[in-house]
Chains A and B, each alone.
Chain A
């Protein structure tokens, strides 16, 4: 009787589960990760692999279109208003944008997380004040204030990093503090306190491993945001200045030639978008991998 039933059930069309086993990734996610690696590679080795000098001007060959619109193989993505090779500039732009992104993310992650952990541990007035600061500053117009700061200090890569870092650490602080509070209130932490484990050990053994995945996930998301923010600042003229190259800057100068040289805007913007998109996708992927709740949900 039982086996007949089991047989009937297994013959019954099983509902198609809409889950992916946790840990498996889609092709989109793999592509995104791959693209990011590519961009980072280019950023590191721009000097070695770029075909031309990013600032090499030549009025004779200005505004050449990319190869599929009648351009030459030598300047495969065309040239800009000063005759500089677009592909080379995109590569050097990657160098600038990626390195600024990474530096800012590292600084903000370390500072923000540390402050957040302290706030979560110490509580009291420090915590209250810190959270108020976070709330207020997060409500401020970030782009404009960064622009003002860069303007006052003088535009350069360093000042851009400073400006972006000042508003960047807040999110880590919030998250780290929240996680510390959650972990603190779990029963097993109380148990460690009862046993007498020193706080540092609790911190390293219990708190940090719990905090690390969401912080790292947040960091990738922030990386995307910082790259966009730097591009925006440079676009407005309050960021990277020549002779350094930035994608935002390229789009800015390309704006004047929008009617006749669309590639000056489209191509750097495309690379920028795909980079940011890849970072967003990877961040989502990391969240899926590390968040146990998401894992359980994806198994349904």
Chain B
């Protein structure tokens, strides 16, 4: 099991390095980042000046190494726009995003698992068809649209909830629901199909023949097995979704998180801040995936305990 985790850890590190390399490459692709940061009308001297101020005139490998090493300790240089260390700004925004993502995922799991199980157990019935339709709609709606719709309905028309901002629990409601929508749709589909996969398995028939209680069979036996493919499929997909959708939701609701920061950084042409926020977002994805990998390895005893060495059946076996 530890070898498995170690491999996943290595992969995680690789991803973070890759993100930084890619962003670095993109921002240096058409010349120095300074050119990007200054308005188009800036003269060549101004660009060169900024370049040397920010260290962009050094050889590229030197810059890259500094970037990579610096990111380990959270040093991303200084934000051009806000004139404070970029790392500090990013990390100050982290809690808001974590809260949003954490609550959304919790909501998604709480809703999807029962729905998915229900759909699988009542396969082919109206329940199943309704739930499948709901999940299809869930994955088709753009997050920003859902957000606005909810705002129009609940804030503007009904006046129940604030339109944007951050602070009170009421501010959390709409953003969390919006962000959870697509994961609910996708996760329900995954839970349903995983459960369907388990229901046909031989051990379920055996459990039936032994007269096990239905609740035991569904939740203890089938779901525990189904949770393995659920986790493996979820981690990959959902964490990608989270990165994209969180940005959109934060923009719609003016949520002071990293996603919104990244967008603002791009708008303000603040390369150091942009690099910092994109890297941290990637880091979030990677950490989320790692946690899911750990959960998956804990759940599947075949990974946790290696099978006893294959003995020849003639020897140890009681014949």
Contacts and interface: CB of A to CB of B under 8 A. Distances in A.
Is there direct touching of A and B in the complex, by C-beta distance under 8 Å? yes
Interface of A: 18, 28, 135-145, 147-149, 151-153, 224, 228-229, 231-232, 235-238, 248, 251, 254-255, 258-259, 262, 265-266, 269, 272-274, 276-277, 280-281, 284
B11 to A, nearest CB: 7
Contact of A258 (B26, B152, B262): B152
26 contacts: A18-B123, A18-B124, A138-B236, A138-B240, A139-B236, A141-B240, A141-B243, A141-B278, A143-B243, A143-B247, A144-B281, A148-B26, A148-B27, A152-B27, A152-B29, A232-B142, A232-B144, A236-B248, A238-B266, A255-B148, A262-B156, A265-B145, A269-B148, A273-B140, A277-B140, A281-B136
A64 B133 CA distance: 34
A258 B29 CA distance: 39
A228 B142 contact: yes
Contacts of B29: 152
B240 A139 contact: yes
Interface in B236-295: 236, 239-240, 243-244, 247-248, 251-252, 262-263, 266-267, 269, 274, 278, 281-282, 285-286, 289
A148 B278 contact: yes
What DSSP secondary structure best describes chain B's contact surface? helix
A276 B163 CA distance: 27
B107 interface: no
Interface stretch (B13-21, B206-214, B308-316): B13-21
Given A136-B15, A254-B148, A255-B148, 5 more contacts: A139-B240, A139-B286, A144-B278, A236-B248, A265-B152
Contacts of B262: 144, 147
6 closest cross-chain pairs (CB), A and B: A18-B124, A269-B145, A143-B244, A141-B243, A277-B140, A276-B140
Contact of B23 (A145, A228, A255): A145
B139 interface: yes
B30 A152 contact: yes
Contacts of A147: 262-263, 266
